[in-house]
Amino acid sequence: MSSRIYLIRHGETEWSLNQQHTGSTEVLLTSNGEKQAQRTAETFVGDGKLIQPKRIKRIFCSPRKRARQTLRLLGLGDEDELSVSGLTSSETPSVKITELLREWDYGNYEGLTIEEVRKLRRSRNLDEVRPWNIWRDGCEGGE
């Protein structure tokens, strides 16, 4: 059987709900974000489903609490013990918490909405030629 990689994003937070740029700030899941993770687990995780815990070889997770909360709610790991739930120690793949999966560094734009960023940049005369685009222009003090 070939290897498979699954990417799962964390559930909703207050900041994502309000369209605020969220990088390194620790913002926990909303109750809706918790439900999103639980529904994802019910749909995709378990014996006979797409993601079968006994077949998992390795889990990588962002260090942000919202990502670790999501991992726990998926039933795939414990936020604190970093082990996969429901498996014996001989079956348990390691959970690697890594900064390589951290969110984008929004620098001075952390916590701001797109409109707030654009307003700030206009006040500094940064976008006289063309409007700000995060992918092209990056973030002051960040990436």
- Give the annotated binding-site residues for substrate: 22-23, 66, 103-106
CA dist list (Å): 18 to 52, 58, 68: 34, 33, 21
* Choice among 10, 12, 21, 110 that is catalytic: 10
- What would the two tokens of residue 45 be? 């995780």
Known binding residues? 22-23, 66, 103-106
Active site residue 21: no
Contact between 92 and 125 under an 8 Å Cβ cutoff? The reply is no
Q: Smallest Cα–Cα separation from 133: which of 117, 112, 108?
A: 117
Among 107, 24, 106, 16, CA closest to 64:
24
Catalytic residue of the set 34, 79, 103, 140: 103
Residue whose structure tokens are 């005369």: 125
10 is catalytic: yes
Catalytic residue list: 10, 103
